[in-house]
Amino acid sequence: MDKKNKVLYVIKKLDELFPEVPVPLHHNDPYTLLIAVLLSAQCTDERVNKITPILFEKADNPYEMVKLSIKQIKDIIRPCGLSPMKSKGIYGLSKILIEKHNGMVPDNFTDLENLPSVGHKTAAVVMSQAFDHPAFPVDTHIHRLMYRWGFSNGKNVKQTEKDAKRLFPIEKWNKLHLQIIYYARQYSPARGWNIDKDVISKKIGRKSIINKLI
């Protein structure tokens, strides 16, 4: 099977397995999504979804957030890890949104990536899931599967994103990146990988990896 047909197979199989893909992080608007994505760094979506209702009850917009102290924010988000850095980021970006963007989350990569603690992946998630702008955020799951499937060399996430955008149709990006995440968690985890369950990798994956598991 050549690479073009492998790509078509992946799209078809993911559509069969995950016809609907809800956004994993609970949110109400672009601001609450931005905060949730920031909190998800090195933290599970499940834990973030337990913490954000507590935080958003006190402040679900930048104007209310800056009324809290950084210590108050840090104490609430502590279970998500990296709370000193994340609390400063949340407070700082909220202040900038008020001062420079009328309290609104900008819908472009440049302004998003200029916000404290907002990197390219976080910006891509917001652009994709909040504004429906074609983007292909690459997390550890996508990075892993793109390598296992032989679609990228695994060198770095920047290269993986470039390869994903080159291989997959732009109109599929926003749904597909979520489908791959759901698939990776359920069928192709980093640990405890069962190749018999991972139907996509077993069919199209790198032989050098698959043969070790069979």
- Eight-state DSSP code of residue 29: S
What is the CB-side half-sphere exposure of residue 214 using CA atoms within 13 A? 14
Q: Is 175 a catalytic residue?
A: no
Q: Is 139 a catalytic residue?
A: yes
Residue in 209, 200, 193 with CA at minimum distance from that of residue 12 = 200
Reduce the secondary structure of 19-33 to three states and give it as a string: CCCCCCCCCCCHHHH
Which tokens belong to 120? 């390219």
Which tokens belong to 173? 């990006």
Q: Which of 139, 172, 196, 207 is catalytic?
A: 139
- Note whether 14 and 180 are within 8 A (CB): yes
Q: Contacts from 206-212 at CB under 8 Å and sequence distance 24+? A: 206/147, 206/148, 206/149, 206/150, 209/148
Q: Which of 6, 60, 121, 163 is catalytic?
A: 121
- Note whether 195 and 201 are within 8 A (CB): yes
As annotated, the active-site residues are 121, 139
